[in-house]
Structure 1
Amino acid sequence: ERVLFATGHPGGLLDVHRRTADALRRAGCEIVRIPSGLIADEGLVVQFADVAMLERGATLWHTHSPAPMAAILDAMAHRGRPLPGLVVADHGWAGCAGQRGLDAIGYADCNDPALFLGESEGTLQVTVPLDDHVTDPRSYEPMTEYLLHAAGLLEDGDAPVREEAEPAA
């Protein structure tokens, strides 16, 4: 399966997507590389650690826009490259892929109901509920570990390193 990862929450969800991409690659999936030089929403669509995201002025941007995913899919079609068989993303990135008929899995916060509606309508295969903007991105590690374990993709040694709590004074 060809899998494309993308996020509108690079500050929080980048590592969730990166770990999932690593696990799927080990399982034999091809991780899609996006075409270079794509522009959307006045920014550059870039790929870092196997995850597509929006960059403006050397800063990774939070966005709910579907435009970056549309730019990726349009460029792939225009260049004769096969589209992904699965898109794992969030916000407009996942919604755009699902609306285009691609199998899509989305991460969504309960205050952003579009992906939940997409799942209900059959546009998205699965929507994973979460708080998509926690202060410490390491807070997603248990969820990522759980999802990879449930999918049979967690290998020995894959579990995140957990720091021990500081002893009370």
Structure 2
Amino acid sequence: MKKVLAIGGSSSRNSINKRFATWAANELAGAEIQEVDLNDFELPLYSIDKETENGIPQEAHDFKSLIKESDGVVLSLAEHNGSFSAAFKNITDWVSRIEKGTWADTPMLLLATSPGGRGGQGVLESAKSIMPHQGAKVAGAFSLPSFGSNFDDSGIVDAGLKSSFEEQLKAFEQAL
């Protein structure tokens, strides 16, 4: 059985991206899903001075261990002013200091959603460019616009969007 991490790239307790990542990961047939909450990995803001003075915090090592122990990652990114959330960027900054390849050559399904009509497309495009340089094997990517209108407890409600998502999920499954 494949072990897959479901990560919402936000520290919001009510993160729609965490909800979306968890739902998407649970759409995988026969996978063991582990939800990852960034709030469980609260870290000081990264700086070389803090690293030199105190070393790399245990929470960063714990996050890296989760990645290394997984067969795949479903990551749904929140878009904050066109980029990654501060919490997500900070944890990846710390983890990148442990060893090269933050994502440990792990297959990844990149997602983004937002309440707006662009669905986090800006951060998703950025991530598609950046993540391969950080050791992710991006196997699929999908943006869900207007989360409140296009998603409910059963999942993606718009048939066209659901079909597009399923194509990306299939590509990710094949990469696992």
TM-score, normalised on structure 2?
0.46
Which is helix-richer, 1 or 2?
A: 2
TM-score, normalised on structure 1?
0.48
